[in-house]
Amino acid sequence: MFRIIICALLASFVSMGSMAQAQGGDLPVDPNVRIGTLDNGLTYYLRNNQKPKNRVELRLVIDAGSLQEDDDQQGLAHFLEHMAFNGTENFAANDLVDYLESIGARFGPDLNAYTSFDETVYMLEIPTDEEGLVDKGFSILRDWASRITIDEAEVEKERGVVLEEWRLGLGASERLRQVHWPVLFQDSRYAKRLPIGKPEVIEQAPRQRLEDFYRDWYRPNLMAVIAVGDIDVDGAEKLIRDTFGDLENPANPRPREAYGVPAHKDMLASVATDPEQSFTQTWVAFKHPPAEDRGSREAYRNALLNGLFSGMLTARLSELSKETDPPFLFGVASPGGFVRGTDMFSVAAGTKEEGVERGLKTLMTEIARVRAHGFTQTELERAKADYMAGIERAFNERDKTDNGAYAAEYIRNFLEDEPIPGIEAEYEFAKQVIPAIPLDEVNRAIDVLVHEDNTVIVVSGPEKEGVVLPTKEALLAVAAEGTATTPEAYDDAISQSSLM
């Protein structure tokens, strides 16, 4: 049930086209989604979509997660998520899962939830081909919003389940995060509020502290309800007003603080191994402030420009990975989000166990090559062609977009102001903007994206006999060596004629 969501570390090149537009900027909002706000502050997103037919994706989004926990509540945001499936005013323990299974929903694929640093999201997919099912779905969301019973006996039973999740760590990826995140989030509340929490709190926190978190943060002015699927939008809007309109905010609400990640002057490094980790990966994260107005055309254009930069660097890294004796098995560059208030540009490579230092030096050398000489015009033309082919394909296949993809977009719009103009507007904007982006401007993007300060090197690998990963000090020395090189200009061997 518990999973962590932070923005995709290795987003694909074409994914920059999914950056739709926020409501507050000068780009339009997709006319196919109806967005509204109730008098109590609850926001809703409604869209009719037929992929698949006779199904609807429902979401209850809470703009609060582990960052909102007090010191004696660490882990209770996630614990409360568990309790939502252990009894509400209208569904006793286990009755909810039994009911949903009776109408064809399955726990896991169709019924789930996650808790992250900044949010908690409940997900429900139900059929729409029988009368009353959509009404019941909204009733379930309403119960989660304010009617979780938090029964004392159920709390005691669930402690063991949550503790077992903590002990297991949900596998290698979570255990590695436990090591890396305090370095990536150095000196921030993120480093002190990992969503999995502290075992002593999970084991000993009184029921009342769960109740306190629930009443403090599950309130309509921090909530969104999303419904995407085979629905009547007018009818769904009335249902939301009738079902959620009586939710009330606390008389004296706690302020919803925004927590950033402070910048640091020195480059940092984190190294971790795990017995279940099957490969070795090196990742360099260059953190930087996000665009001030994500809803503006200028910010959207900059996102496209950064995507072209990343695509060209990825192409060079991919070419290196195909050599006879490659420095890494794969290499990729990616712009994107990190956590709220902080974006990042990253380069990553999968290496052999003994090849971490070589792989890291190559990554930093290729960045130095771009800084010294830039990209070539032919590289840019290929990158533009690749991007336009991707967004044109998305436009042509727009009727095939599934309900869950739209629901995920609207979650990001509500929580992070990610723009949502719709693929039609994105395609038109790209046709206007992409051809006119000049090479010198793309080359200057490195001054914003890549820097020596506020940067973290992260290395993960298997824990097994005979495998010794480099120390933090060695990684920092290798990175400095790669950065200080003065490589020759890149030879773009792929001509436009051969490409055609």
Are residues 238 and 316 part of one domain?
A: no
Paired with 280 in beta bridges are: 351
Residue 29 lies in a domain: yes
Residues 283, 234 within the same domain? no
User: How many domains does the chain contain in total?
Assistant: 2
Please indicate, yes or no, if residue 249 is contained in any of the structural domains.
no
CA distance 402 to 409: 11
**156 lies in some domain:** yes
Report yes or no on 19 lying in a domain. Answer: yes
Instruction: Give the model confidence (pLDDT) of 314-351 as tens digits.
Output: 999 999 999 999 999 999 999 988 899 899 999 999 99
In which domain, by residue range, is 428 found? Answer: 268-491
Q: Is residue 108 part of a domain?
A: yes
Would you state the pLDDT for residue 16?
A: 34
Can you name the residues that pair with 330 across neighbouring β-strands? Answer: 350
The answer to whether residue 329 sits within a structural domain is yes
CB-based contacts of 65, cutoff 8 Å, min separation 6: 77, 115, 116, 117, 118, 119, 120, 195
Let me know whether 231 and 352 are in one domain: no
* Other CB atoms within 10 A of residue 389 CB: 11
Higher pLDDT: 19 or 81? It is 81
| Residues 170, 296 within the same domain | no
Number of Cβ atoms within 10 Å of the Cβ of 480: 13
Q: Are 212 and 313 in a shared domain? A: no
Q: Do 212 and 290 belong to one domain? A: no
Looking at residue 273, which CATH number applies to its domain? 3.30.830.10
d(CA 72, CA 171): 26
Phi, psi of 65 (to 5 degrees): -150, -145
Q: Are residues 482 and 378 in the same domain?
A: yes
Q: With 50 as the cut, is the pLDDT of residue 1 above it?
A: no
Task: Count other Cβ atoms within 10 Å, centred on residue 132.
Answer: 9
Q: What is the mean pLDDT of residues 24-42?
A: 92
> Does 213 share its domain with 337?
no
Same domain, yes or no, for 236 and 306? no
Shared domain check, 281 and 156: no
Mean pLDDT of 407-427: 95
- Calculate mean pLDDT across residues 472-499: 86
Instruction: State which amino acid sits at residue 317.
Output: L
Domain co-membership, 224 together with 299: no
**What pLDDT, in 10s, does the model give residues 58-67?**
999 999 999 9
CA distance 96 to 88: 9
Position 197 in a domain? yes
How far is 387 from 433, CA to CA, in rounded Å?
Answer: 12
Residue 294: pLDDT band (50, 70, 90) is confident
> Which band of pLDDT confidence, cut at 50, 70 and 90, is reported for residue 290?
confident
The yes-or-no verdict on residue 21 having pLDDT over 50 is: no
The tens digit of pLDDT for each residue in 178-189 reads: 899 999 999 999
Cα–Cα distance, 456 to 237 (Å, whole number): 46
Say if residue 48 is in the same domain as residue 180.
yes
Backbone angles phi, psi at 36, to 5 degrees: -145, 170
Q: What residues pair up with 55 in beta bridges, in sequence order?
A: 127
Structure tokens at 184: 């990536």
Query: Which residues belong to the active site?
Result: 81, 158
Q: Is the pLDDT of residue 360 over 50?
A: yes
Cα separation, 248 vs 446, whole angstroms: 48
- For 375-432, give the secondary structure using H, E and C: CCHHHHHHHHHHHHHHHHHHHHCHHHCCHHHHHHHHHHHHHHCCCCCCHHHHHHHHHH
**Does residue 307 sit within a domain?**
yes
